[in-house]
Amino acid sequence: MTITETATAHASGNAATGKFKTERVSADTSPERAAAIYRDVLDAFKEIIHKHEVTYDEYRVLKQWTIDVGEYGEWPLWLDVFVEHEIEDVNYSRNSLTGTKGSIEGPYYVAGSPKLPATCTMPMRDKDRACTPLVFSGQVTDLAGNGLAGATIELWHADEDGYYSQFAPGLPEWNLRGTVECDEQGRYEITTIQPAPYQIPHDGPTGSFIESYGGHPWRPAHLHLMVQAPGKLPITTQLYFKGGEWVDTDVATAVKPELVLDPVPGDDGKNRVSYSFALDPAA
Ligand code: BEZ
Ligand code: FE
């Protein structure tokens, strides 16, 4: 048994909640707007209850399930699987934005990953080095295709067992996480490993929720990226792999056709792919 096999929904859920709590988030929502949103949430609840004539026993089961999600620390997980894609859609899929598409951040981003030069290899263990290498190169540009000086790419992804460093036991702190400082033309060449499809933790209440509607807990293999350059709108996105399992039925509904890579296997055993990011001007 490997160390990472001891990771559980409970442990990874609590790690995600613990990390989120340290951020102490806030929003400058007006009291009027907040009241309108709360009223609509209550109306949506009322509509569902009346539509399905929800019984008292069913209501008590809902109470128990919400308690369980909290105790397992799974609210960041549940919300990022079932809600975040709609938030991302409303905020970034506006007609006025024509740059590279965004996708959900998910619960496993950690700020402050080690800085890496434009041509680099991600921090990884010997165990990761035994996986298929992926050489990912390209350029961060403006909408006209001009390379951008000062661009950075934060990259983070799971290992071949589907575990993220800092959210599962036994992994080095910054394993498969880095902040790449692109060259003066925004170019980069990052060597990492080909990620594997990933099951969201499903031995807890999020898993029972998925089971109850006949779903599956799989996300397709993906890379997470946060791309920034001075004067440009930063993007948070994900990249997927053509023909990969679960690309068409992602549990988190986060795949977009523009975000699918098609790496080419090389004679040296490395997969290579080029993908460039076009950033919209900052608002
Ligand atoms: C992920 O991309 O790793 C992820 C996204 C949403 C929920 C859980 C995990
Ligand atoms: Fe992920």
* CATH number for position 217: 2.60.130.10
- Considering only residues 219 and 168, tell me which one the structure prediction assigns the higher pLDDT: 219
State the ligand closest to the CA atom of 252. Answer: 1
Q: Which residues contact 62 (CB under 8 A, 6 or more apart)?
A: none
For ligand 1, whether the C-beta of 210 sits within 6 Å is no
- Considering only residues 40 and 170, tell me which one the structure prediction assigns the higher pLDDT: 40
Neighbour-count burial of 186, counting CB atoms closer than 10 A to its CB (0-12 exposed, 13-18 middle, 19+ buried): buried
pLDDT of 2: 40
Q: What percent of the chain has pLDDT over 70?
A: 96
Which residue out of 82, 219, 225, 255 has the highest number of ligand 1 atoms within 8 Å of its CB and is therefore the one to mutate? 219
Residue of minimum CA distance from atom 4 in ligand 1:
106
For ligand 1, whether the C-beta of 252 sits within 6 Å is yes
- 9 confidence band (pLDDT: 50, 70, 90): low
- 16 confidence band (pLDDT: 50, 70, 90): confident
CA of 238 to the centre of ligand 1 (A): 10
CA of 183 to the centre of ligand 2 (A): 27
Helix (H, G, I), strand (E, B) or coil at 191: strand
Q: Is the pLDDT of residue 162 over 90?
A: no
Integer Cα distance of 84 and 68 in angstroms: 21
Closest CA to 244 of 224, 259, 227: 259
Q: Which residues contact 190 (CB under 8 A, 6 or more apart)?
A: 116, 120, 121, 122, 135, 136, 137, 153, 155, 178, 180
pLDDT of 37: 98
Count: domains in the chain: 1
CA of 228 to the centre of ligand 1 (A): 21
pLDDT of 1: 32
Residue of minimum CA distance from atom 3 in ligand 1:
106
Mean per-residue pLDDT over the chain, rounded: 93
- Quick check: pTM over 0.75? yes
pLDDT tens across 55-93, in order? Answer: 999 999 999 999 999 999 999 999 999 999 999 999 887
φ/ψ region of 6 (left if φ > 0, alpha if ψ in -120 to 50, else beta) reads alpha
- Considering only residues 19 and 189, tell me which one the structure prediction assigns the higher pLDDT: 189
Q: Is the pLDDT of residue 5 over 60?
A: no
pLDDT of 3: 39
- 94 confidence band (pLDDT: 50, 70, 90): low
pLDDT tens across 204-232, in order? Answer: 999 999 999 999 999 999 999 999 999 99
For ligand 1, whether the C-beta of 99 sits within 6 Å is no
Residue of minimum CA distance from atom 5 in ligand 1:
106
| pLDDT average, residue stretch 39-66 | 98
Structural domain for 202, as ranges = 1-283
pLDDT tens across 224-275, in order? Answer: 999 999 999 999 999 999 999 999 999 999 999 999 999 999 999 999 999 9
pLDDT of 48: 98
Closest CA to 81 of 215, 190, 200, 243: 200
